[in-house]
Structure formats: C-alpha cells, structure tokens
Amino acid sequence: MAETGTQALELVQRLRPDVVTLDIRMPELSGLKVLEAMRTESERPLVIVLSGLTELEYRDKCLQLGAEFFFNKATEFEKVIEILSERGAA
C-alpha cells in the first residue's frame, strides 16, 4: 500500500499489479497525476478510483485519464468488492 502518489506510481511500475485502487487526494502526487503517468504504460492495470471527491468533473477526468471505475468511498465501497469478485481478483 502506498502512502503517497509518488509511492503509488513507483509500486505500479515495479510490481505491475492487475488492479490498482486510487484516491484523488494523495500527498506529493495526486491520483489524477498518477493516472496521467500510467497512461504511457503498455500493460496498464485495472484502475478503480475510490474518492470522497464525488463531483462529476472529478469522475469525468478520472475516466478520461484511463480509470475504469470511479466510486464514492463513503457510499459505494461495496461496488469495489463486486468488481473484484466479478474479475476473480477478490
């Protein structure tokens, strides 16, 4: 688990996980910047953004940058479990 956006990006590049969950608000490098940097990766993981910033502009931006899913972490956390179960990753 990464504590900062910089760590998240480093771990994604080093470990090549199948699934990544991101928040938008992260120290050092925002989740949006992590998504942007991941766009250049040839083998991208499934990306789920789980955030308290639920305004439509954030959702749209995350999806535009390559996130497959965007959920409100206060009310939609169970959807992450559903997605992972459907894909055999839970």
Provide the residue ranges of all domains of the chain, joining segments of one domain with +: 18-86
Reading the chain (90 residues) residue by residue, the pLDDT tens digits are 899 999 999 999 999 999 999 999 999 999 999 999 998 877 889 999 999 998 999 999 999 999 999 999 999 999 999 999 988 765
Query: Considering the entire predicted model, what is its pTM?
Result: 0.89
What pLDDT, on the 0 to 100 scale, is given for residue 37? Answer: 93
| Residue found by looking up tokens 């938008």 in the block | 24
CATH 3.40.50.2300 given to domain 18-86: yes
Query: How far, in Å, CA of 75 to CA of 54, rounded?
Result: 10
| Residue found by looking up tokens 């504590």 in the block | 3
**Structure token digits, residue 34:** 């992590």
What pLDDT, on the 0 to 100 scale, is given for residue 50? Answer: 95
What pLDDT, on the 0 to 100 scale, is given for residue 14? Answer: 93
Query: How far, in Å, CA of 87 to CA of 60, rounded?
Result: 23
